[in-house]
Structure 1
Amino acid sequence: MSSQRLAGAALAVVATAAALTVWSATRPAITELPETVVIEPGPYTYRPAGTYRYYGKLVDAPLQTEVADQPLEIMTFQVSRAEYAACVADGACEASRVSQGGSPTSADLPQTEVNWYDATAYAAWFSRQTRQHWRLPDDREWQRAAAERFFEEKIVAEDEDDPAQRWLAAYERNVATRGTTTPEPQPRGTFGTNSHGVADIAGNVWEWTTTCVANSIVTGDGAPPVKQQEYCGAHIAEGKHRAIIIDLVRNPKVGGCAAGLPADYVGFRLVRAR
């Protein structure tokens, strides 16, 4: 074989190898995507998270009516133990004390024992593996997805003079809302679907959001609340009631709930960004 032919063959091999490298780098590692629900644009109500004060007194955040101009796509189910285990196996997520051992259905249980950093690490890994943008929802998006399963807190009169009584009333209200909870995480679908078709939302596994804890002032003249301070060492976890959980905490029942009644368990589901 002539030197020209050898050189041409070598160039062809290099070109093929380069093409395969590019193809393998751009081809998604995960092609079987989770089931999602698309919530169409339209009106919805939203009660902001955080602490709100009216002339120095603690009050509930004002209820807002919003109109979404973009659809919201969110996972039908919470991220499962099996799905999270794939991220752990790839070295991109921290292992959890919750294993896949036990009954045959345990892999289908929602992943719990994850802190806020674990959830965001999974979202980043899943985005890389699918070549799509997945992220945690913010509190506003979670409420929109929860629809009628978002617990609407009763407004306590603004002339309440004893802040401790208001706190106790809110605590008792949340206890009543929880009712008799199932003690352990259950297989997906156990708690049914809401009007949007989102499964197990406001079940016994709370869900991390990207919303930080904020302090705001309500002026009472119809103007939007003024945000005074935001603390992002804790984030809102939504479920049967709001929970403020410190970011590093994986099990809120044993401590780390920054305020109010702790969540039973904390897990997460993701939104696909458009």
Structure 2
Amino acid sequence: MTSTLPGSVGAVVVLILMLAGLAGWRRAEPEDLAGWRAERMAAFHAWQTDSPPREIWDHPDVPILVTIPAGTYLQGSPSTERERFPDEPEQRPAAIPQPIAVGRYPVTRGEYARFIEDSGYRPRTVCRGYAGETELLPRWHFSWRRPGFGQTNDDPAVCVSWYDASAYVDWLSRRTGEHYRLLTETEWEYAARAGSRTARWWGDDPAKGCDAANGADLTAKDRFTDWEVANCRDGALFTSPVGSYHANAFGLYDMLGNVWQWVEDCAEDSQAEDKSGGRCSRRMMRGGAWHSNPRYVRSAVRRADAAESGYAAYGLRVARDP
């Protein structure tokens, strides 16, 4: 059927339809978590009867934590680290004075969906990702529910901003009565290194980490042909279910790769506004992600972004004092 609407009127109609579609995409949609919650409850009861000594699991809806010991380490990268960026800070001694309980995995999509369902929280995050091309772009229909690729409830939550991450740990605290929070950068790097002094917890060679971290490798290059990748193949194009790769010496999975993990720290270029009582507009994250070229999948790498920003590779990991 041929439209008889004048051009200007037709354009308005199209715009109205697009906005209506946008509202539909943004509207909170119920997640069917019945199966997920039943599996979690069964796993929680089994864990209660046979829990590893260093693990903490406060509630079936919340992440499992691993207690890591107090200790000291050298934070940052040495000048001799081959892939080091020129602006990376020099190494300095750092101390973790008390044990910390750290999420065994990044927060999963199922865990994040349960937070949304129970709290009624509605993210306002504009998510960037890939929709067929190799260029990173914001899409109005991208969200943690639809990041531009398929996920299971065991994949890490993505399209999470720092504000979303902060709301999530606040909900965990209300849900459990314990004080949940994000890690600091110093805590995160200590947990990621797990006693190692190499560029990555498994060593210096990124190609030897295809069973240790989900970063950009030859699997990614099949689609993203202009990417710089590790010379190995793990079969994962986007995110992978948490725990699919080896744990580090602290028993933590996906500390490197899979998703960038927001931490508490204010970025250096926002510290002045933070100290003056203003809102810290840029926050730090660590770890690299499924899209990251090997140089970014290192223990010392730091990334800053706007606190309201989302991306199909931005997630989080939680902590609490044991």
Normalised-by-shorter TM-score class: 0.5 to 0.7
| SS in structure 2 of the partner of residue 107 of structure 1 | coil
CA drift at 1:34: 2.8
Contact 1:92/1:125 (8 A) holds in 2: no
Q: 1:45 aligns with which of 63, 69, 74?
A: 74
In the alignment, what sits opposite 1:107?
153
Tell me what 1:201 maps to: 255
Deviation digits for residues 44-64 of structure 1, max 9, x if unmatched?
12139xxxxxxxxx8532211
Report the equivalent of 2:304. Answer: 244
**Runs of 5+ consecutive residues of structure 1 not aligned to the other structure:** 1-29, 49-57, 155-174, 216-226, 252-263
Distance 1:270 1:238, change over 3 A: same
Counting only pairs closer than 5 Å after superposition, residues 77-88 of structure 1 correspond to structure 2 as 77-88=105-116
Question: Aligned in 2, Cα 1:34/1:98: closer, same or farther, shift over 3 Å?
Answer: closer
C-alpha distance in structure 2 between counterparts of 1:208 and 1:228, whole Å = 16
- Give the Cα–Cα distance (whole angstroms) in 2 for the partners of residues 236 and 61 of structure 1: 14
What is the number of residues matched between the two proteins?
A: 191
Q: CA deviation at 1:93?
A: 2.7
- On the 8 A contact 2:108/2:156 being kept in 1, the answer is yes
Residues 248/151 of structure 1: CA separation in 2 closer, same or farther (3 Å cut): farther
Cα pair 2:70 2:96 within 8 Å, conserved:
yes
- Say yes or no: does 1:267 pair with 2:321: no
The alpha-carbon distance between structure 1 residues 203 and 228, as it changes in their structure 2 partners (threshold 3 A), is closer
Change (3 A) 1:209 1:199: same
Q: How does 1:25-174 map to 2 (within 5 A)?
A: 31-32=59-60, 33-47=62-76, 59-94=87-122, 97-99=143-145, 106-147=152-193, 148=196, 151=199
Match of 1:7 in 2: none
Q: Is residue 213–residue 230 contact of structure 1 (8 Å, CA) maintained in 2?
A: no
Counterpart of 1:183 in structure 2 is 237
Per the alignment, in what secondary structure is the counterpart of residue 90 of structure 1? Answer: helix
**Distance in 1 of aligned mates of 2:104 and 2:189:** 14
Mark the CA change 1:59 to 1:267 in structure 2 (over 3 Å): closer, same or farther. closer
Match of 1:160 in 2: none
What is the CA–CA distance in structure 1 between the aligned matches of 2:152 and 2:146, rounded to whole Å?
A: 6
Question: Aligned to 1:183, what secondary structure does the other structure show?
Answer: coil
Identify if the C-alpha distance between structure 1 residues 230 and 139 changes in structure 2 by more than 3 Å, giving closer, same or farther: farther
Question: Which whole-Å CA distance do the structure 2 matches of 1:178 and 1:131 have between them?
Answer: 46
Structure (1/2) with the larger strand percentage: 1
Q: Is the CA contact 2:156–2:258 (under 8 Å) kept in the aligned structure 1?
A: no
**2-side partners of 1:82 and 1:234: how far apart?**
27
Deviations 1:46-86 (A, max 9, x none): 139xxxxxxxxx85322111232211110101111111111
Query: In structure 2, what residue type is equivalent to 1:272?
Result: R
SS of the residue 1:211 aligns to: strand
Percent identity reads 28
SS of equivalent to 2:305: strand
Work out the CA distance in 2 between the residues paired with 1:177 and 1:140. Answer: 27
Structure 1 stretches of at least 4 aligned residues deviating more than 6 Å after TM superposition = 176-181
Q: Rate the CA distance shift 1:178–1:84 in 2: closer, same or farther, 3 A.
A: farther
> 1:132, 1:272 within 8 Å by CA — same for their partners in 2?
yes
| CA drift at 1:176 | 6.7
Q: CA deviation at 1:273?
A: 2.5
In the TM superposition, residue 119 of structure 1 has moved relative to its aligned partner by 0.5
Query: 1:200 is matched by which residue type in structure 2?
Result: D
User: Which blocks of at least 5 consecutive residues in structure 2 are unaligned?
Assistant: 1-57, 78-85, 126-142, 205-227, 275-279, 288-296
SS class of match (2:74): strand
Per the normalisation by structure 1, the TM-score is: 0.60
Offset at residue 92 of structure 1 (A): 4.1
Cα distance between partner residues in 2 of 1:228 and 1:212: 6
Q: Is the 8 A contact 2:72 2:93 kept in 1?
A: yes
Aligned-pair Cα RMSD in Å = 3.4
Q: Which protein, 1 or 2, shows the higher relative CO under an 8 Å CA cutoff with sep ≥ 6?
A: 1
Distance 1:178 1:135 in 2: 36
